[in-house]
Every structure is written in structure tokens, then in C-alpha cells.
Amino acid sequence: MTSKTRTPIQLRINGHRHELEVEPRVTLLDALRDHLGLTGTKKGCDQGQCGACTVHIDGQRVLACLTLATQAESRDITTIEGLAGEDGTLHAVQAAFLEQDAFQCGYCTPGQIMSAVACIREGHAGSDEEIREYMAGNLCRCGAYPHIVAAVRQAAVEAAS
Amino acid sequence: MRDFSYLRASSVDAAREAAALPGAMLLAGGTTLVDLAKCGVAEPETVVDITHLKGLDTIAVDDRGATIGALARMSRVADHADIKSRFPAVSEALWQAASAQLRNMATIGGNLMQRTRCPYFRDPANFPACNKRWPGSGCSAIGGVTRGHAVLGTSEACVATYPGDLAVALVAFDAIVHLGDRQIAVDDFFLLPGSTPEREHAIEPGEMITAIGIPASAAARRSTYLKVRDRQSYEFAAASAAVGIEFEADGRTIRDLRVALGGVATKPWRARAVEEALNGKVLEPEVVRQASLLAVEGAVDRGANHYKIELAPRVVARAILKMGETA
């Protein structure tokens, strides 16, 4: 039951089942990027401070860098790769980020978008002030914040109509 | 990060038993433990994952009070309708803490076990001396950069600030920590550093927080959590106050005031001197401001953190006056 060695686990990611072998200390972030090649989820600070690694577990936005991969077994994991439709149609939040030009270098963008999707779903995107508060866990070193707020606002209005 | 074994607990008893073994640590949301393992501060031999346990995440509120299961996530408690209406300071302390992602991960039990953000504590590679990490090794903060360090409840062994928000509200409203069958007041759960700063909580090996109880009160119902910080959001408190007021029937005379401070002390800090000075008094701005100075009685600064001694009473006064306006 307890083991430090690589242990087989199953992860359900974007509706697909993946089997991999990881040490217990491997984070979900490293499992996604290094073991499964899902590099859309970004490693920023790797300390739970920047939000670049935001994914959804059972529909809730969380940080993959502070989640052990093993802990996420039997949960539903959604990453940025799982947002668009099967035919490639962008999620409304992805489309809004494009329309509002809500990024510069783009490194924080997958985390921003995953966070924004959840923020709108939680009902925490009712005003610019509320968007800023509830998106505070996603840092953008380029400082694209005004456009990010505009994109979240646009997607929230679309979701409500 | 040091390698460790992983054990998924199948019951509370199994979790307690496993956690009692040397080198074992309980893993809930992971926002403290995984972070500190990466910093090289926590070096568990075994992590005991309790997040798959059933039935420990319920939130029950009635006329006697609230009982919050240890595994309830911060975000769920913050958004709970009855917590918002009957314990607004608790909800406000929660949603002003950390980020939305961290609040979806961190549990209420784990929140009480979070460790200080003292940068010397968090950096063993560059600062080996830390009495909290390594008893007797000294304190790198004393004589170092102390802007974020505590001014209340410190000792010559440790000046690390208690970083949390929730427990500040809990201590104001006499909450109880449930460790299975044993219950302990939140105020007694957190320990002053004294000469043993490595011991932060009155919890024994093999014990586990199972729930938090908050007794209902009129003061808790009319309460707020005011957090002042360097940034508008996603930052620890420079100084914060949980305040609740019950007025006499005249709506002006204070019957029951509760005040607790965050961001300035080594543990969640109940300011009873302020409460005693104002209970029975009519709420007047100047009287409140004078009484609020008692919040920092006995404060000792370490240079760069002197501002906290001026800031904390102002935060207390502002929170009390804000609650007075709603009368």
C-alpha cells in the first residue's frame, strides 16, 4: 500500500483514461507535462503562487503544481486541451481572449482561461471588480490585465444571455 | 523534493493510526504540505492522503451554531448561505484569503495547520538557523528583514507571524476545534512560540482535526473581517481585524464586542482589552479609537515592522466603526 517506487495509476483527463507510472511525489503538473505530453498546462512558479498551472478537478479550478498526481486518481481532470469542441470550435472564453487580445507573451494564458471558465461558472464574474478579485490568483507578468478583465466580462455576458 | 511514500487512508481511524508513525504527515488540500516539501521544509517519510474519506466535508448550521467538517474546502464554506448570513466575518476571512484556486483545494482542517510565511523559515538552504524548523539553531529573522514579522506574542526564539485569516475570525467567536472526541478552544489550539516555537498547535501525534464548531451569537451575526495588505488582493495581511458587535436594545450601547487581530501576532490574537474597554459604552468614534490602541498593548517591534503597531489599532477602529454604522 505504501511505496516510494513508481506506482501505476490511472488518470481521467479530458474524458480520456490514461495509465502511467509515477513516484508518489510527482505532481499532477509534472505528470501532465512530462509523462503525458499535455504541455498546454504551464509551469510558472511551481509553488502555488502564479496560477499558470490551473486545471479543473471535478469541475473546480485548482493548481496542478500543488496536487499530487496520485491524489487525482478517480477524479475528472480537465486541462486547456479539453476546452475546445471535438471539431476544434473554441470555447467561448478562448474566443473572447482572442477577440479582446487578452495576452502578450501567452505563457499565463492557459491558466488564465481555465481560471476564467471556472470564475464565470462560479458566478464570480458579475462586475469588473469581482472579476479582478476572483482572477487574482492568475498573474500576468506582461501586465495584460485590462484586456483579460474585458475578455472575462465578455464571456460572462455571453454565458448569461 | 525528498521522495516519500503515499498512503490513501480508508477511514479516520486508519488515518490517525498511520499519522502517528514517525515521519508520517496528513495530506489534505496539499497547499501547505506539498509547498513546504518543495521548499525542503517539510520532509515527510509518508504522506497519508485523507481527501478520499467520506462524510468529513459537511457544513451544518442551526440556531446553536455551525459545525464545519475538516475536509470542507475554504471556497464552499465562504460561499455557504448560512455562514454568510450568521457568521459574515468567517465568510469574509475565507474569501479574502489566498486565491480562488487555493481556496478550492485547501480544507478547513488544513487551514488551521498552515505554517508561517516567514521567509527565513521557508528557505532552509540559505538560512539554516530557524528555531521553528530546527529547535535551538537560532532565529535568522531577528536582526534580518522583519517587515512582515510579528509584534505581538513574540519571543527571543521566534518572531514569525501567524499568516491565516480564518482562525482570526474563529478566535473572535470562541470556536472549538474537534479532534475526534477531544475538543479544544481555538484560542488554546494555537500556541505561543515561547522557547518552543517548533510546537505551533496543541495536537498530538495520532490526532486529527475532524471538525470546527462555531457557537451562534448576536456578535457573530453582526461581524466583519477587515484585511489591510500591500496589494488589493491575493496577499497576506499587513494587519487585519475580525470584529463582531451586539448592541443593547437602544442600538448604541455595546453589549458584546469581539475583536481579534491577524497579520501582527504569532498566533490568532484575541484583543480582550479592547472588548473590555468598550463593553457597556456608547459607540462613539473617538472612544473607539482610544480603546483600539489597547489592541497592541505589550507590542514589541523589530525595526521594519514598527508600522504594524500603528496600523493594527486603526484597522480595529475602522472595523468597529463600520459595524456601528449598520446599527
Q: What pLDDT, in 10s, does the model give residues B24-38?
A: 999 999 999 999 999
Q: In percent, how much of chain A has pLDDT > 90? A: 95
A110-124 exposure pattern, b = at least 16 Cβ within 10 A, e = fewer: bbbbbbbbbbbebeb
CATH code of residue A105: 1.10.150.120
Together in a domain, A14 and A72: yes
pLDDT at A138 > cutoff 50: yes
Contacts of B27 in chain A (CB under 8 A): 68, 71
**DSSP per position, chain A:** ---SS-EEEEEEETTEEEEEEE-TT-BHHHIIIIIS--TTS--SSSSSSS-TTEEEETTEEEEGGGSBGGGGTTSEEE-GGGTS-TT-PPPHHHHHHHHTT--SS-TTHHHHHHHHHHHHHHT--SSHHHHHHHTTTS--TT--HHHHHHHHHHHHHHHH-
Q: Is residue A1 part of a domain?
A: no
pLDDT confidence bin for B59, thresholds 50/70/90: very high
CB contact under 8 Å between A68 and B47, yes or no, is yes
CB contact under 8 Å between A61 and B100, yes or no, is yes
pLDDT at A103 > cutoff 90: yes
CB contact under 8 Å between B100 and A2, yes or no, is no
Q: Is residue A2 part of a domain?
A: no
Contacts of A70 in chain B (CB under 8 A): 6, 8, 49
| Structural domain count of chain A | 2
Q: Is A88 on the interface with B (CB under 8 A)?
A: no
Together in a domain, A31 and A58: yes
Helices (H), chain B: 12-19, 33-39, 74-79, 81-86, 88-95, 100-105, 108-112, 166-172, 186-189, 218-221, 272-278, 285-292, 307-325
The rounded distance, in Å, linking the Cα atoms of B109 and B191 is 16
Together in a domain, A110 and A43: no
Domains in chain B, CATH or no CATH each: 5-49 (3.30.43), 218-325 (3.30.390.50)
Q: What pLDDT, in 10s, does the model give residues B81-94?
A: 999 999 999 999 99
CATH code of residue A35: 3.10.20.30
pLDDT at residue number B195: 98
Together in a domain, A59 and A122: no
Please answer whether residues A134 and A124 qualify as being in contact, where contact means their C-beta atoms are separated by less than 8 angstroms. yes
Number of A–B residue contacts, CB under 8 Å = 98
Contacts of A60 in chain B (CB under 8 A): 73, 75, 104
Together in a domain, A19 and A52: yes
CA distance B302 to chain A (A): 27
Grid cell digits, residue A77? 481532470
End residue of a domain, out of A27, A51, A82? A82
Together in a domain, A76 and A120: no
pLDDT at B327 > cutoff 70: no
pLDDT at B200 > cutoff 60: yes
The rounded distance, in Å, linking the Cα atoms of A111 and B296 is 41
Together in a domain, A102 and A46: no
Question: Mean pLDDT across the stretch B216-224?
Answer: 98
Grid cell digits, residue B86? 450568521
Together in a domain, A11 and A77: yes
Tell me whether 0.90 is exceeded by the ipTM. Answer: yes
Together in a domain, A22 and A78: yes
Best interface-test mutation with B: which of A23, A71, A73, A152 has the largest number of B CBs within 10 A?
A71
pLDDT confidence bin for A1, thresholds 50/70/90: very low
Together in a domain, A33 and A58: yes
Q: Is residue A131 part of a domain?
A: yes
Q: Is residue A144 part of a domain?
A: yes
Q: What pLDDT, in 10s, does the model give residues A30-52?
A: 999 999 999 999 999 999 999 99
Q: Is A70 on the interface with B (CB under 8 A)?
A: yes
End residue of a domain, out of A54, A82, A110? A82
The rounded distance, in Å, linking the Cα atoms of B5 and B47 is 6
pLDDT at residue number B173: 98
Residue A54 structural domain: 7-82
Q: Is residue A87 part of a domain?
A: no
| Helix or strand run (H / E) with residue B203 | none
Q: What pLDDT, in 10s, does the model give residues B276-315?
A: 999 999 999 999 999 999 999 999 999 999 999 999 999 9
Together in a domain, A108 and A72: no
Together in a domain, A73 and A111: no
End residue of a domain, out of A59, A82, A105? A82
CB contact under 8 Å between A25 and B4, yes or no, is yes
Grid cell digits, residue A79? 486541462
Q: In percent, how much of chain A has pLDDT > 70? A: 98
Instruction: For residue B115, give the DSSP letter.
Output: P
